[in-house]
Amino acid sequence: MEGGSTMLFNEEEVKEMSGFKYGAGNDHVEVTCGCTSYCYGDAVGTLRVFANGDLEITCDCTPGCPEDKLSPSAFEKHAGRETARKWKNNIWVMVDGEKVPICKTALLKYYNRTLTKTPNKSQTGRVCHRDEFLSCTKCNKLRRFRLRTREECRGYHDACIDDNWNCSDMPFDKLTCDDDEERGSRRVYRGCVRSATCKGCTSCVCFGCGTCRFTDCNCQTCIDFTRNAKAA
């Protein structure tokens, strides 16, 4: 291990981790990673972990692959992983000769720290994320997403940009298309702190904040928000 790497991770956290080294500029670490597709096999890359929680992957699936600075979810999709949207489990690193999901290593500690530190408030300081509903592409039933935490917002965000999202993909509830749809009389209650049956106001509708926009997402909405936030 190169000198200085313990600035982000101690020796025990990265012991026997293949390809681990401190990156140029001393602002991140690099480690060999991969994602396995049942159809296409292993796609290997280099994961860069930054202290601010950012994660970037350069893909080396084939010689000369042009994919660089991919988010974990984009790398997972590029690798052809069949059960996408679960990158924390699907992307692995080699530890002592074994493939270990990155969620079982210390590599996500800075990423996870940003999730817990980011408040669920808009620039006005108000709680701003009401419950949202999304239709299943198979049964067309509406499913409720509660957006109280960053993880819950990410689950809803990823579902919105998934053209094939269905009931079984619910991130926090086990549902199938056979389960009943929530009654219409209940759907009017969406968690607004100002009014229980609010149809949308400045207290519960958010147009973008650090809780519901993500630096590791490649959708245009997140890219624009991140760019504007850095320019501010």
Tokens 């760019």 -> residue: 227
The pLDDT score that the predictor gives to residue 126 is 47
Model confidence at 1: pLDDT above 70:
no
DSSP-derived pairing of the beta strands 132-135 and 142-145: antiparallel
The alpha helices in the chain, defined as continuous H runs, are 72-78, 87-90, 109-117, 150-160, 184-187, 220-231
pLDDT confidence tier of residue 53, bands split at 50, 70 and 90: confident
Model confidence at 212: pLDDT above 80:
yes
Tokens 């198979």 -> residue: 138
The pLDDT score that the predictor gives to residue 3 is 42
pTM: 0.56
The pLDDT score that the predictor gives to residue 80 is 84
Q: Which two tokens stand for residue 173?
A: 């509830």
Share of the chain above pLDDT 90, in %: 34
Model confidence at 69: pLDDT above 60:
yes
Closest residue by Cα to residue 33 from 88, 112, 111: 88
- 5-9, 26-30, 154-158, 183-187: range with lowest mean pLDDT: 5-9
Model confidence at 86: pLDDT above 60:
yes
pLDDT confidence tier of residue 4, bands split at 50, 70 and 90: very low
pLDDT confidence tier of residue 132, bands split at 50, 70 and 90: very high
Q: Which two tokens stand for residue 163?
A: 């053209």
CA-to-CA dists, residue 10 to 2, 3, 48, angstroms: 12, 11, 16
Phi, psi of 45 (to 5 degrees): -155, -175
